[in-house]
Structure 1
């Protein structure tokens, strides 16, 4: 008996992660719409939600075995819009438009760096020799954390009302730093490089519970805390990768 021909079309298994990616793109871009109305908290919240969706799509794809080249390309395009163009537009409308001459230039530079980072990622996706990736580290700050760091001054303003974070003399250098971190060769922690000792697993769960409770009761405090911790971990990630690099070199010399 002849085998039945397969039905044409795309399976839901392959479509689901792409749908989440598209949702992240639309949610992130909606942040610009909120910013046009001066609804700053909603604008930043849209980027945060887009970041959560972006973290989910790859895991959903691996869980459903629905990875595809199309999905990888769509994810990069989504990241450029949601975590490059939209945060830059939000910050420009918030403060940078008041900066003489170079406010728009710095905002565009942030978008350019986000695009360059993702182009580098796509160009190396099939490259076997990736020292950072093989050790479980990222090369530079990924675009979602980069967008979160760029928006960190806004979160501080939401919670404290501090005027100094709304000064373009502070915000312009900060935005430039966030942009450069995205295209840098600095080794940064990824999920796979963070290991929790068995003796600390209950403490880790307690901290996660505390963060969740804080996120519900005081969301900006929780997100500011995450941003500050991420910045504080950057020097530690550099040192951790240096130790891994030295260990690999010593092993290679011994063999």
Structure 2
């Protein structure tokens, strides 16, 4: 019985690492596809890597098989799948026409991804991180925006100089957001789904239907909305903080 339990535990331990390996494979395949000029396949491969990356951590927590090795392996995989792969895709698809400015943008994206992951690991190891929020734009989200931008442009047939200038700007903005102090909601402690299981299923089905209508458009829009949610939250909080300060001053001075 003890041997069977030990084999079962080993199998559960391997599962998160297997999902991480699948994420790494998708990232590598995304690089190969981009080099071959198959940019659409490359973009979908990176999105696939993000899906597997979202599963490995959750599976590890559900099966209680989290380990330091798994955390480090996941970070190395993330650097390839969400740093190098989208950096190569971005450069070969829309940045190489800008010469030095283009490859510097691609390098900056890879470098900020590495810095983002290093800071995330440092915060996680220190135990000072907040599970509700990410500090800086998560690199899978940034990679998803890069990939869906390629898919979105191809779907609308707007590939060209104008779209590539916009894309260059987008890459620089994403690089900045990843290493910024802007907070992004992590969706790790959403209690509504646990409290309303039936409504959650219906909501999930409706969400999948919306995404499936035209994923190249809906995924890009969702990515952009999440990308701007952090800065918009700062603006929202500053406005209400200013209003609260004005109201406090008015009450203090009886204005």
With normalisation by structure 1, the TM-score equals 0.81
Partner of 2:184, secondary structure, is strand
Alignment RMSD: 3.3
Q: How far is the alpha carbon of 1:97 from its aligned partner?
A: 1.0
Distance 1:179 1:137 in 2: 19
Distance 2:50 2:99 in 1: 31
1:142 is aligned, of 127, 138, 146, to 138
**Matched residue, 1:223:** 219
2:182 is aligned, of 183, 186, 205, to 186
More helix by share: 2
Matched, 1:60 2:59: yes
CA distance 1:230–1:203, change in 2 (3 Å): farther
**Matched residue, 1:70:** 69
Q: Are 2:88 and 2:106, in contact at CA under 8 Å, matched by a contact in 1?
A: yes
CA distance 1:229–1:193, change in 2 (3 Å): farther
- More divergent stretch after superposition (169-178 vs 212-221): 212-221
- More divergent stretch after superposition (90-99 vs 121-130): 121-130
Q: Are 2:148 and 2:216, in contact at CA under 8 Å, matched by a contact in 1?
A: no
Distance 1:238 1:27 in 2: 34
- More divergent stretch after superposition (47-56 vs 210-219): 210-219
**Matched residue, 2:15:** 16
Q: Are 1:28 and 1:83, in contact at CA under 8 Å, matched by a contact in 2?
A: yes
Partner of 2:188, secondary structure, is helix
Distance 2:60 2:6 in 1: 21
**Matched residue, 2:230:** 234
After the TM superposition, which residues 24-43 of structure 1 pair with which residues of structure 2 at under 5 Å, given as runs?
24-43=23-42
Partner of 1:174, secondary structure, is helix
CA distance 1:228–1:202, change in 2 (3 Å): farther
Distance 1:108 1:86 in 2: 11
Q: How far is the alpha carbon of 1:216 from its aligned partner?
A: 3.3
Q: Are 1:110 and 1:175, in contact at CA under 8 Å, matched by a contact in 2?
A: yes
Q: Are 1:22 and 1:78, in contact at CA under 8 Å, matched by a contact in 2?
A: yes
**Matched residue, 2:82:** 83
- More divergent stretch after superposition (201-210 vs 10-19): 201-210
Q: Are 2:19 and 2:55, in contact at CA under 8 Å, matched by a contact in 1?
A: yes
Flag structure 1 segments of 5+ consecutive residues without an equivalent.
246-255
**Matched residue, 1:251:** none
CA distance 1:168–1:62, change in 2 (3 Å): same
Q: How far is the alpha carbon of 1:203 from its aligned partner?
A: 7.2
- More divergent stretch after superposition (77-86 vs 36-45): 36-45
Distance 1:194 1:65 in 2: 20
CA distance 1:65–1:241, change in 2 (3 Å): farther
Partner of 2:181, secondary structure, is coil
